[in-house]
Structure 1
Amino acid sequence: MQPITIRNLTFAYPGQAPLFTDCNLDFSSDWRLGLLGRNGRGKTTLMQILQGRLEYQGTVTSRLNFAVFPMTITDPTAFTGDALQAAIPNQNLEQWQIERELGVLGVDAALLWQPYQTLSGGERTKVQLAALFAQDNAFFLLDEPTNHLDLAGRQQVADYLAKQHSGFIITSHDQDFLDRVIDHTLVIERHQLVLGQGNYSAYFQQKEQRDRRAQAVNRQLKTEIKELQHTRQQRLQWAQRAENKKRGNSHADKGFLGAKAAKMMKKTISTANRLDQTISNRQGLLKNVEEVVPLTLNYQPHHQQTLLTADRVTLTIDGRQLFSPLTWALHQHEQIALVGPNGAGKSSLIRAITGHFAGETAGELSVPTGLTVSYVRQDYATNTGSLRQFASQHSLPYDQLLNLLRKLGMERAAFTVPIEKMSMGQQKKVELARSLLTPAQLYIWDEPLNYLDTYNQQQLTKLINEYRPPLLFVEHDQHFINTIASQQVAVTPLDSANQG
């Protein structure tokens, strides 16, 4: 156990507002820290600062070696074992150590003898984690290890991390996963680092309690501010009426009334200044509460009750059947989650329903004639050009598109960036905004949470629970599935070798 100390940390990218301002923090190398915060708040940046990869003001003190996920694999054509050893220089890491960790993780060590580039995304994650934790005297910085993992893979990695004696900092948007692996939270809240004890659920409960107290304080302060502003305006109006009365009275002693009006005006201005200061003080006490901004959905209910039916449906690619026959139906106001391991054929099934599947379909898929479907794709590389061009191409109101993107947390500065040049999170928000704005009677979303933070997840959860639109979706976040799905359909692969 060794301390890690941060003192007076300040950092900003050139030409941008500071991400951190005079931050101080102490934590221990045996802690399992969940690094939380909105996308763009600086989670990855903080990890880079700890590694010494960015220049900053302040000090970061530690004797530890920081080991980072994801690794940089320089030669993906090499055998996996060789590629992993090359990615961790100066550690004298031997292959038997990686094999040992793979055994703890429950992964076949034969993967080490396959070319790295032939591994699935989930397999790459697992072998990299095994190589990292084979090191001694390291503190681990794990940036989104749940990406590319299906539900079973996330459970497998969570079990593995729970067995580790070494500490780490981890980022993930999977709340259930974080609950299983962390014992402290480190939250980036508008330029500051806030340390807490417990898992994600403990943090979220405490945050909700703090937010409720802060909102109550804010309501009281706003009422006081409104009353003070009214009093200030009222005093100024009284003084103005007295001045007008002096001017309109031709028989009065102008000298006397003028002196009296001047005295009253001076007193009123002094009172107004004091009220201004009081208002300013009250405004300074307002709590900075980040409320979940509600989203809207252009849902157009269909007149039929059953919107999608699958009767003993199977899919075949190059003569290989993907999964066991499926029979289910999606009705109005139902939300069905397609669940199963990577490679089972969930996305292929969605492509078959939307008319984009290139293989063969057996059984019957039926939808009402003329049903309008809004589809969130996993691959949206075809979204290019300016946001104005995108809005025109998809018949979306441009101002509503920008407004919705702001609600999703996209900075205005990104509005002028071509979509293909945006970050993956920003591109995902554009794809999602298109779906929400498009008039539709059925929604089909393929992994909608990819690249979105927990704030956006809360927005989508509240949206679905409010509108209850008919929705068919694929997602690996168990918390999201449990929260919104009215039914789960298991897609069982016939060829286990396709699982990632």
Structure 2
Amino acid sequence: MSLINVSKLTFAYDGSYDNIFENVSFQMDSDWKLGFTGRNGRGKTTFLNLLLGKYEYSGTISANVNFEYFPFHVEHREMNTLDVIGDIYPDYVHWELMRELSLLKVTEDVLYRPFDSLSNGEQTKVLLAALFLKENSFLLIDEPTNHLDMDARKLVSDYLRSKSGFILVSHDRSFLDNCVDHILSINKTNVDIQKGNFSDWWENKQRQDNFELAENDKLRKDIKRLSEASKRTSDWSHEVEKTKNGTRNSGSKVDKGYIGHKAAKMMKRSKSIENRQQAAMDEKSTLLKNVESSDSLKISQLAFHKNQLAELDHVSIHYGEKTVCEDISFTIEQGDRIALSGRNGSGKSSIIKLICGEPISYTGTFHKGSQLKISYVSQDTSHLKGNLTDYARIHGIEESLFKAILRKLDFSRVQFEKDISSYSGGQKKKVLIAKSLCENNVHLHIWDEPLNFIDVISRMQIEELLLEYSPTILFVEHDREFCNNIATKTIALR
């Protein structure tokens, strides 16, 4: 066990006027299992890179351990997996590798296949096994769940629960709850560590938010009272000051010295109250410091002229001689929120392509409403580029609504000026979701793994939206909590 000390850490990227971290200090124990959370763009990956020594910064980071980052960069993906592991960790012991692979339920034959022939899930598990072979290392695990289906996420979460000494970046609540004992959170104004899993942290955060909101409400009332008192006092001293050049009711000449002295006292008292008001306003600015913006979002979805939007009856999908899924039957009716579940490779994306109208070979019966309008969110964000204004114009959506939704999903206004290609993975996904929510004349939303890279607070916000407005939606998502909260039906592909 050793301590990792972060003291007065300050960092900004070259050319940026805004610090990502400013005078941040905290301690971590190298035996902890830390879940790392924070909204997209707050600096989680940046902090991991600072631990790795990739950037210059002010302040100090001291530790008696080596930092190792996941996922590893695999330069020669065509090599056999065993050789890839050898490049990552030349001194590994084979039986130890086999032990780790066994825990992750990866068979030995995988080692003798080209790495790029492995599925995304197999690649993730192999690289995790290699990571945990390293001794005297504190492990930085950056979003390992994005290519894992629900079963694989549970397996990897159980695996990590048996380990210690890592920071885990993940936005999957169930995943974090199962395998971490501390939460490291990047908040709006500070970095904080709390003992417990994600649910413990979230409960504490809500309690703190409610306290800040109550304090803010009380302070607003105090400011209003002080403002009114200040105005009355200011009016009083002003009226007294005016009498210096006037006369008393009796007609006698006024004592300007006396009146001036009295006015000065009133002005001083007024100024004192104004200072109290300003101090209260300054205090107000320190409240709500970490209350996250989670305003409700609004969408409208057209009602289709028929209750049934689409039907699959004993559908099987084929690629050449390969059948990816078979004997699939379900209907999509208005108001359905359907989770399409199954392991990677079970045909989920193929079903989506069929419903969206892409040319695809299938047998069985498929019917879709002839005038059905679909809004589709794909897994892929690599095509996104240009500025948001042009993007809105090209796709025929209302720019002000589009940007308002992004603002509520924690986009800063400075992001509106940047090229979309420079956004983080989570921010790009938010662009696709905001576009989908803005599209007019839509009867059905189809979202294919929409939450990859999206921060947990935005996930909760999207959940609230879908529950409040109940749009008809078919979605593929491996976040167990999201599916449990949203789905009215689950179609499991096997």
Q: Which category of TM-score, normalised to the shorter sequence, fits these structures? A: over 0.9
Match of 1:298 among 293, 297, 300: 300
Hey, what's the Cα distance between the residues in 2 that align with 1:428 and 1:298? 20
Moved more, 262-271 or 393-402: 262-271
Unaligned runs of 5+ in 2: none
1:367 aligns with 2:368: yes
AA aligned opposite 1:135: K
1:455-470 equivalences under 5 Å are 455-470=457-472
The aligned residue for residue 278 of structure 2 is 280
Q: Is the 8 A contact 1:306 1:331 kept in 2?
A: yes
The aligned residue for residue 34 of structure 1 is 35
The aligned residue for residue 122 of structure 1 is 121
Q: Is the 8 A contact 1:305 1:331 kept in 2?
A: yes
Hey, what's the Cα distance between the residues in 2 that align with 1:436 and 1:320? 36
Moved more, 116-125 or 254-263: 254-263
Q: Is the 8 A contact 1:85 1:94 kept in 2?
A: no
Q: CA deviation at 1:264?
A: 5.3
Hey, what's the Cα distance between the residues in 1 that align with 2:185 and 2:37? 5
The aligned residue for residue 55 of structure 1 is 56
The aligned residue for residue 320 of structure 1 is 322
1:143-162 equivalences under 5 Å are 143-162=142-161
AA aligned opposite 2:170: S
| Residues 419 and 41 of structure 1, relative CA distance in 2, 3 Å threshold | closer
Hey, what's the Cα distance between the residues in 2 that align with 1:77 and 1:323? 28
Hey, what's the Cα distance between the residues in 1 that align with 2:338 and 2:472? 8
Hey, what's the Cα distance between the residues in 1 that align with 2:486 and 2:269? 55
Hey, what's the Cα distance between the residues in 1 that align with 2:60 and 2:85? 31
Q: Percent identity?
A: 36
Q: CA deviation at 1:272?
A: 3.3
The aligned residue for residue 478 of structure 1 is 480
| Residues 473 and 265 of structure 1, relative CA distance in 2, 3 Å threshold | farther
Hey, what's the Cα distance between the residues in 2 that align with 1:88 and 1:17? 38
The aligned residue for residue 193 of structure 2 is 195
AA aligned opposite 1:449: L
AA aligned opposite 1:150: D
Hey, what's the Cα distance between the residues in 2 that align with 1:306 and 1:268? 75
Q: Alignment partner of 1:282: what SS?
A: helix
- Count of residues paired in the alignment: 488
1:72-471 equivalences under 5 Å are 72-88=73-89, 92-164=91-163, 166-241=164-239, 256=254, 262-263=260-261, 265-286=263-284, 287=287, 288=289, 289-356=291-358, 358-439=359-440, 440-471=442-473
Q: Is the 8 A contact 1:20 1:191 kept in 2?
A: no
Hey, what's the Cα distance between the residues in 1 that align with 2:308 and 2:390? 36
Q: CA deviation at 1:465?
A: 1.1
Question: What value does the CA root-mean-square deviation take over the aligned residues?
Answer: 2.3
Q: CA deviation at 1:198?
A: 0.7
Hey, what's the Cα distance between the residues in 2 that align with 1:417 and 1:50? 27
| Residues 331 and 359 of structure 1, relative CA distance in 2, 3 Å threshold | closer
Moved more, 297-306 or 388-397: 297-306
**CA-to-aligned-CA distance 1:474-494 (integer Å, 9 cap, x gap):** 0010010001111110012xx
Q: Is the 8 A contact 2:180 2:196 kept in 1?
A: yes
| Residues 463 and 123 of structure 1, relative CA distance in 2, 3 Å threshold | same
Q: Alignment partner of 2:362: what SS?
A: strand
Q: CA deviation at 1:364?
A: 2.7
**CA-to-aligned-CA distance 1:29-76 (integer Å, 9 cap, x gap):** 111011111112121122122222222222222111212101121221
| Residues 250 and 68 of structure 1, relative CA distance in 2, 3 Å threshold | same
Hey, what's the Cα distance between the residues in 1 that align with 2:392 and 2:293? 28
Q: CA deviation at 1:219?
A: 0.9
Hey, what's the Cα distance between the residues in 2 that align with 1:285 and 1:77? 60
Q: Is the 8 A contact 1:19 1:191 kept in 2?
A: no
Q: Is the 8 A contact 2:244 2:260 kept in 1?
A: no
| Residues 188 and 380 of structure 1, relative CA distance in 2, 3 Å threshold | closer
AA aligned opposite 2:432: E
Q: CA deviation at 1:155?
A: 1.0
The aligned residue for residue 498 of structure 1 is none
Q: TM-score, normalised by structure 1?
A: 0.91
Hey, what's the Cα distance between the residues in 1 that align with 2:87 and 2:252? 95
The aligned residue for residue 44 of structure 1 is 45
Q: TM-score, normalised by structure 2?
A: 0.92
**CA-to-aligned-CA distance 1:102-126 (integer Å, 9 cap, x gap):** 0122111221111112222111110
AA aligned opposite 1:74: E
Q: Alignment partner of 1:456: what SS?
A: helix
Hey, what's the Cα distance between the residues in 2 that align with 1:487 and 1:54? 48
The aligned residue for residue 496 of structure 1 is none
Hey, what's the Cα distance between the residues in 1 that align with 2:303 and 2:372? 10
Q: CA deviation at 1:373?
A: 1.9
Hey, what's the Cα distance between the residues in 1 that align with 2:110 and 2:253? 100
| Residues 264 and 113 of structure 1, relative CA distance in 2, 3 Å threshold | farther
The aligned residue for residue 22 of structure 1 is 23
Q: CA deviation at 1:177?
A: 0.3
The aligned residue for residue 8 of structure 1 is 8
Unaligned runs of 5+ in 1: 493-500
Moved more, 201-210 or 8-17: 8-17
Q: CA deviation at 1:247?
A: 6.9
Hey, what's the Cα distance between the residues in 2 that align with 1:27 and 1:426? 29
Hey, what's the Cα distance between the residues in 2 that align with 1:342 and 1:297? 31
Q: CA deviation at 1:418?
A: 2.9
Moved more, 270-279 or 32-41: 270-279
AA aligned opposite 1:6: V
Hey, what's the Cα distance between the residues in 2 that align with 1:275 and 1:313? 76
| Residues 74 and 232 of structure 1, relative CA distance in 2, 3 Å threshold | same
Q: Alignment partner of 1:322: what SS?
A: strand
Q: Is the 8 A contact 2:35 2:176 kept in 1?
A: yes
Hey, what's the Cα distance between the residues in 1 that align with 2:259 and 2:367? 83
| Residues 276 and 380 of structure 1, relative CA distance in 2, 3 Å threshold | same
**CA-to-aligned-CA distance 1:274-311 (integer Å, 9 cap, x gap):** 22322233234332222412212132333432223222
Q: CA deviation at 1:447?
A: 0.9
Hey, what's the Cα distance between the residues in 1 that align with 2:182 and 2:205? 14
